[in-house]
A and B are shown apart, each in its own frame.
Chain A
Amino acid sequence: MERVIGIDLGTTNSCVAIVEDGVPTVIPNRGGYKTTPSMVAVTEAGKRLVGHIAKRQAITNAENTVYAAKRLIGRKWSSPQVKNAVLTASYKIIEGPHGDVRIQLRDKTYSVPEISAMVLQEMKVCAEDYLSEPVSKAVVTVPAYFNDTQRQATKDAGQIAGLDVIRIVNEPTAAALAYGFGKTMEKTIAVFDLGGGTFDISVLEIGAGGVFKVIATAGDTFLGGEDFDARIIDWLVQGFKDQHGVDLRQDRMALQRLKDAAEKAKCELSTVTETEINLPFIISSGRNEALHLQRVLTRSTLESLCEDLVERCIEICKQTLEDARLDRDEVEDVVLVGGMTRMPRVQDSVKEFFGREPSKGVHPDEVVALGAAVQGSALVDETKQMILLDVTPHALGIMTFGSNFEELIPQNTTVPTARSKIFTTSRDRQTAVKILVMQGEHQKATENELLGEFILTGLRSAPKGQVEIEVTFEINSDGIVSVSAKDLENGQQQSIQVTASSGLTKEEVGRMMEDAKEYMVERQSSDEFEGLKQEAEKLIGDIERMFPQVEQIVASSDFGRDAIGKARGIVEKARAAIVKRDSAAVKEHMESLARTHRMFKGVVSRPHG
């Protein structure tokens, strides 16, 4: 049975896990870290960097380092969230060809799924290194409150990365799977997940026999650690302006340093009550003098800066319990997920709201990936007795007369689910019907997310009302929407194409996949080169060390002198190949190097004299 990895593709950090001998395990990256920053950069030399190395060079290469791409995935260029990101991000966000979002890194533009794919690819490689076997199947998590477009785009990212994403799982649900894994219990729990970019709350029931049933879920896909950081940055920028009359926002590098410092201060304030932010030479004033930023941030200031953010989380919790028709005391355990739940103010608010101490049993950074791995193994392994019943976070409907929203599948409906509706022609000889599919909770259709529109075509030309088409709206276990139509008269399946208004086309995804594969080949060969180089350098080193001794022994013969000359030639050629990073050439010389090495060894070990 092929192994399935679970990937938590986070806004700030990503994590990969696998079920090994029945035990869910996090796979560390090459640096030994269990999580990898979701950052991607392109260096001046055009080299692609992902993860920790990308993060380390972010300050000096701010414009070409992407962070928090997840906040942009599946969003329209025209959305307020993107507008806001354009203003605050240190990298360049531009409009794509489908009204979608692209990111400019040096001379190339990338779609957001492509950026996410780079992170996914990194996680895939981590897993392959760890398992020493190729991996192609993955379960990838998304915030529960992601809509169809965002899910679709995440799936695209997986495909671009060369992964068969067998299931998209909601992050809090995955956390619950890991929490309940291997235990027998019947319990109602709440998962409170505040990460770098998004907030999710889910209420679940864990039933006997490994059934996990989500009762209600809600969240905010634009509420997370990034927003807490932004508050600190605002505070710093404003203070600096008041003091020096200089706007730090104009300088991308300064902004990146501020961002770094803000996050660091925020994390520190989870353990201490006061911290100093010290950024020397942050910018130069108009008179060419260097200015420094130095300020003390206290925990209570931070808390007051971010009070409303925490309140928003609690508001959403309240609403979710109402939707679940549960009283607070019916929730038997609260699980905290996401780095931001380390903030004491967040913990206190959760505790106060649910009236109980949150569970300490899970690791907030790893539990989501572990759950994804658990779900992956349950899906492919028939002997596993675990079933996940998740819900759709958004209502699905269509636009009707007067741009009203007609709900077809309500929020919090267990998926997979389907709903059929019969459409009929309203004019004589009408041969096409247009249907707008939307997702959201608003009465007014225009307030909701337009997933796409489709046109039923090729209808029989007949008097009005005579042609009836049954359209089935489906939400699958990934939370992804599909639509199919049947002509009721002849039972013929109508093919319809829902063109997501901001997604990538099939062709684009295909092309991006090819690009990504090329990169893999490139990357693999460079890995290979590094290996060859090491091996060759070791041989060269040994050979050079033996030269004086060998020379002494064989210098007397012509043959010996000739051999020494040849050996020098081989070493030089190999050196040149290494300098040129030409792995094929290095490989070519490897054999002669090894031969020379053997020969030299033989000479020096022979008794002489």
Chain B
Amino acid sequence: MTRIPRLNPGCDVRTLPLTSAESRLVARIDGAAGEVDLARSTGLSESAVTAALVRLRDLGAVEMVEVASAPTQPKPAAGVASQSPLLAPSDPTPPWDPKELEEDVELDGERRRQILDAFHRLDRYSYYDLLGVHELSDKKQVKTAYYAVAPEFHPDKYFRKRLGAFKPKIEAIFTRLTLAHDVLTSRERRDQYDEYLDQLRRNRAAESVIEETRQDAAAVEAAVLEAAAGILEAAKAQAPAPEAVRARVQSAQERREALARKLLGGKKLPPRSVAASPDQPIVYEAAQVDPETMRQRYEEALATARREQVVRFRESATAAVERKDYAAASNAYRIAASLAPDDEELQALSDEAEHLAAAGLAEGFLKQAEYEARQERWGEAAMSYGKVCLGRPNDAKAHDRVALCTMKMPGGNMRRAVEFGRRAVELAPTVAEYRVTLARAYIEAGLEKSAMAELDRAEELAPKDAKLKELISQTKVQAAQRKSK
């Protein structure tokens, strides 16, 4: 008997806060490979694979299936058989205007549809998805996949054909496919891209954990109330719990467990209390309890429920801190704190965790922003740097970068550039570079006078830096030109 992990079809692994080792593992799970195979194909140690699988199972991403014997033949490596989604049959509900099909070009209908589908789906896919390969596919597999899809979208396939508006689309698809190939076949660029993808996922997951805290806190409170109410009502009815209550208790419980799974990030669920699971009979008291006692009991039950929840969430918060998962910790602390509003220590802990979470998130966004800026995706970079600033309100450089990227993006909001540029200068008044950025933002916004003033100060601050000096004098010329006209 061997245990084989299978992907849980109902779970979107993309939304989970996975480490890069875990995502690699996920990519290799094909329903046939056992733990040993996975260790071999991922290059991870067997114990690491086991540990990761446990976590993945707890996250609901995989389930372990017992099979009679290990498959003797190793399955072909993942990624060989798959192909680019751009070659797949068209979308049933195309995201493009059917009018585009009517253009007078020398392409048959099927081709037109394929090109439009591909073009409008480009931004949906990561480079891996675009080529239809896994994150673990090797260079050769990436190339094979690229060679299969790229010729379909190479302009030479339509040599001297009238293509109209389809031409730039074909070229855009080809260029993107080639970029994906180039990035994924260069060790260095692929590592950077992987890191970026990891970072992106982690940032998204962390962000959503934090965003959901409020909702989660409400859910917990509701669960507590419901649990207590269940007890009360059951007692009132002097009878085994009616279906309705059981159902309500159950639904509250499910929600709670789902939440707990998310918060605990793979740790075992703490022992259930208060609302026992439906298959464990709840002990209901006999009849004839007077209302006052009932109320007291209810209050007690409620308080106990609260306390226990506080303990649970504190525990999971501490565990999260240990894991350095500050987003989860902050979330758990916040819920705990909301259940015990008078506990000052808890409030302080919650604040600190929140602080750490924001800083951690900022760190993540910084990495994301730096990659985006290197790729000259200015709009995205400006956004990500902006998120860095949220976690690091005193980081001058991050503010400076928001201003710079905003200026570089087409259609950037110059007021935003000025705002962030100003903040950067406020935070680090002695850095000439930031003043130059601000000056340039001023120029873009039509405020030459302010620009000149900044440049003067920048010049005083950086009398030695030749390169900066040249930039300053150029910018001055620019400002002067604008002003004089």
| Chain A residues at the B interface, C-beta cutoff of 8 Å | 166, 186, 205, 207-211, 213, 325, 378-380, 385, 387-389, 401-402, 414, 416-418, 422, 426-430, 463-465, 468, 477
With both beta carbons as reference points, the residue of chain A lying nearest to B474 in the complex is identified as: A401
Chain A neighbourhood of B144, CB < 8 A: 186, 207-208
With both beta carbons as reference points, the residue of chain B lying nearest to A387 in the complex is identified as: B151
Chain A neighbourhood of B470, CB < 8 A: 402
B126-134, B154-162, B210-218 - the one binding chain A: B154-162
- Does the CB pair B159–A211 fall under 8 Å? no
Chain B neighbourhood of A417, CB < 8 A: 175
- Does the CB pair B151–A429 fall under 8 Å? no
With both beta carbons as reference points, the residue of chain B lying nearest to A464 in the complex is identified as: B482
- Does the CB pair B155–A477 fall under 8 Å? yes
Given contacts A211-B147, A402-B470, A414-B178, is CB(A464)–CB(B485) below 8 Å? yes
Mask: chain B, 132-175; 1 = CB below 8 Å from A; 0 = not: 00000000100110111011001111011000000000010011
Given contacts A427-B485, A464-B482, A465-B444, is CB(A209)–CB(B155) below 8 Å? no
Given contacts A379-B159, A414-B178, A428-B482, is CB(A422)–CB(B147) below 8 Å? no
Is B43 close to A, CB under 8 A? no
Q: In angstroms, how far is the closest chain A Cβ from the Cβ of B142?
A: 11
- Does the CB pair A426–B147 fall under 8 Å? no
**Residue among A208, A378, A418, A477 making CB contact with B147, cutoff 8 Å:** A208
Give 9 A-B pairs besides A213-B147, A463-B446 with Cβ atoms closer than 8 angstroms: A166-B160, A209-B151, A211-B151, A389-B154, A414-B178, A417-B175, A464-B446, A464-B482, A465-B444
- Does the CB pair A388–B156 fall under 8 Å? yes
- Does the CB pair A422–B186 fall under 8 Å? no
- Does the CB pair A427–B156 fall under 8 Å? no
Is B481 close to A, CB under 8 A? yes
Is B410 close to A, CB under 8 A? yes
- Does the CB pair B156–A477 fall under 8 Å? yes
- Does the CB pair B478–A426 fall under 8 Å? yes
**In the bound complex, what is the Cα–Cα distance between A205 and B146 (angstroms)?**
12
- Does the CB pair A465–B159 fall under 8 Å? no
**Residue in B156, B171, B482 whose Cβ sees the most chain A Cβ within 10 Å:** B156
- Does the CB pair B485–A428 fall under 8 Å? yes
**In the bound complex, what is the Cα–Cα distance between A221 and B150 (angstroms)?**
31
- Does the CB pair A325–B186 fall under 8 Å? yes
Chain A neighbourhood of B188, CB < 8 A: 325
**In the bound complex, what is the Cα–Cα distance between A44 and B83 (angstroms)?**
67
- Does the CB pair B157–A387 fall under 8 Å? yes
A-B contact pairs, 11 of them (CB 8 A): A186-B144, A207-B146, A208-B144, A389-B178, A414-B178, A417-B175, A426-B482, A428-B482, A429-B485, A465-B482, A468-B410
The A/B interface has a contact count, at CB < 8 Å, of: 71
Q: In angstroms, how far is the closest chain B Cβ from the Cβ of A375?
A: 9
Chain A neighbourhood of B147, CB < 8 A: 207-209, 211, 213
Interface of B is mostly: helix
**In the bound complex, what is the Cα–Cα distance between A22 and B363 (angstroms)?**
60
**In the bound complex, what is the Cα–Cα distance between A416 and B474 (angstroms)?**
35
Chain B neighbourhood of A414, CB < 8 A: 178, 182
The 5 closest A-B pairs by CB, nearest first: A428-B485, A207-B147, A387-B151, A211-B147, A427-B485
Chain B neighbourhood of A209, CB < 8 A: 147-148, 151
**Residue among A208, A379, A389, A416 making CB contact with B171, cutoff 8 Å:** A416
Q: In angstroms, how far is the closest chain B Cβ from the Cβ of A383?
A: 12
Given contacts A208-B147, A211-B150, A477-B155, is CB(A418)–CB(B171) below 8 Å? yes
Q: In angstroms, how far is the closest chain A Cβ from the Cβ of B184?
A: 13
**In the bound complex, what is the Cα–Cα distance between A325 and B191 (angstroms)?**
15
Q: In angstroms, how far is the closest chain A Cβ from the Cβ of B389?
A: 26
With both beta carbons as reference points, the residue of chain B lying nearest to A378 in the complex is identified as: B156
**In the bound complex, what is the Cα–Cα distance between A541 and B89 (angstroms)?**
77
Q: In angstroms, how far is the closest chain B Cβ from the Cβ of A198?
A: 25
**In the bound complex, what is the Cα–Cα distance between A378 and B158 (angstroms)?**
11
Chain B neighbourhood of A464, CB < 8 A: 446, 482, 485
Chain A neighbourhood of B178, CB < 8 A: 389, 414
**In the bound complex, what is the Cα–Cα distance between A463 and B470 (angstroms)?**
26
- Does the CB pair B482–A387 fall under 8 Å? no
**In the bound complex, what is the Cα–Cα distance between A211 and B181 (angstroms)?**
14
With both beta carbons as reference points, the residue of chain B lying nearest to A381 in the complex is identified as: B159
With both beta carbons as reference points, the residue of chain B lying nearest to A488 in the complex is identified as: B410
- Does the CB pair A427–B474 fall under 8 Å? no
Chain B neighbourhood of A213, CB < 8 A: 147
Q: In angstroms, how far is the closest chain A Cβ from the Cβ of B418?
A: 14
**Residue among A385, A416, A463, A468 making CB contact with B155, cutoff 8 Å:** A416
Q: In angstroms, how far is the closest chain B Cβ from the Cβ of A323?
A: 12
User: CB within 8 Å of A: which of B339-357?
Assistant: none
Q: In angstroms, how far is the closest chain B Cβ from the Cβ of A93?
A: 37
With both beta carbons as reference points, the residue of chain A lying nearest to B444 in the complex is identified as: A465
With both beta carbons as reference points, the residue of chain A lying nearest to B189 in the complex is identified as: A325
Q: In angstroms, how far is the closest chain A Cβ from the Cβ of B102?
A: 21
Q: In angstroms, how far is the closest chain B Cβ from the Cβ of A444?
A: 14
Chain A neighbourhood of B148, CB < 8 A: 208-209
**In the bound complex, what is the Cα–Cα distance between A198 and B159 (angstroms)?**
30
Q: In angstroms, how far is the closest chain A Cβ from the Cβ of B89?
A: 21
**Residue in B140, B151, B155, B186 whose Cβ sees the most chain A Cβ within 10 Å:** B151
**In the bound complex, what is the Cα–Cα distance between A371 and B225 (angstroms)?**
80
With both beta carbons as reference points, the residue of chain B lying nearest to A465 in the complex is identified as: B444
**In the bound complex, what is the Cα–Cα distance between A166 and B160 (angstroms)?**
9
User: CB within 8 Å of A: which of B187-226?
Assistant: 187-188
**In the bound complex, what is the Cα–Cα distance between A385 and B148 (angstroms)?**
11
Q: In angstroms, how far is the closest chain B Cβ from the Cβ of A78?
A: 29
Q: In angstroms, how far is the closest chain A Cβ from the Cβ of B415?
A: 14
With both beta carbons as reference points, the residue of chain B lying nearest to A428 in the complex is identified as: B485
**In the bound complex, what is the Cα–Cα distance between A53 and B187 (angstroms)?**
55
- Does the CB pair B446–A465 fall under 8 Å? yes
Chain A neighbourhood of B171, CB < 8 A: 416, 418
With both beta carbons as reference points, the residue of chain B lying nearest to A208 in the complex is identified as: B147
Chain B neighbourhood of A477, CB < 8 A: 155-156
**In the bound complex, what is the Cα–Cα distance between A506 and B178 (angstroms)?**
35
- Does the CB pair A387–B485 fall under 8 Å? no
User: CB within 8 Å of A: which of B93-151?
Assistant: 140, 143-144, 146-148, 150-151
**In the bound complex, what is the Cα–Cα distance between A429 and B485 (angstroms)?**
8
- Does the CB pair A387–B159 fall under 8 Å? no
**In the bound complex, what is the Cα–Cα distance between A418 and B485 (angstroms)?**
34
Chain B neighbourhood of A463, CB < 8 A: 446
**In the bound complex, what is the Cα–Cα distance between A379 and B182 (angstroms)?**
25
Chain A neighbourhood of B157, CB < 8 A: 387
Chain B neighbourhood of A385, CB < 8 A: 151
Q: In angstroms, how far is the closest chain A Cβ from the Cβ of B16?
A: 33
Q: In angstroms, how far is the closest chain A Cβ from the Cβ of B192?
A: 14
- Does the CB pair A380–B159 fall under 8 Å? yes
With both beta carbons as reference points, the residue of chain A lying nearest to B147 in the complex is identified as: A207
Mask: chain B, 10-34; 1 = CB below 8 Å from A; 0 = not: 0000000000000000000000000
Q: In angstroms, how far is the closest chain A Cβ from the Cβ of B190?
A: 11
**In the bound complex, what is the Cα–Cα distance between A205 and B181 (angstroms)?**
13
Q: In angstroms, how far is the closest chain A Cβ from the Cβ of B380?
A: 17
**Residue among B154, B159, B410 making CB contact with A422, cutoff 8 Å:** B410
Chain B neighbourhood of A430, CB < 8 A: 485
Chain A neighbourhood of B150, CB < 8 A: 211, 387, 389
Chain B neighbourhood of A205, CB < 8 A: 143
- Does the CB pair B156–A387 fall under 8 Å? yes
**In the bound complex, what is the Cα–Cα distance between A389 and B171 (angstroms)?**
13
Chain B neighbourhood of A211, CB < 8 A: 147, 150-151
With both beta carbons as reference points, the residue of chain B lying nearest to A470 in the complex is identified as: B410
User: CB within 8 Å of A: which of B441-457?
Assistant: 444, 446
- Does the CB pair A207–B143 fall under 8 Å? yes
**Residue in B147, B155, B157, B470 whose Cβ sees the most chain A Cβ within 10 Å:** B147
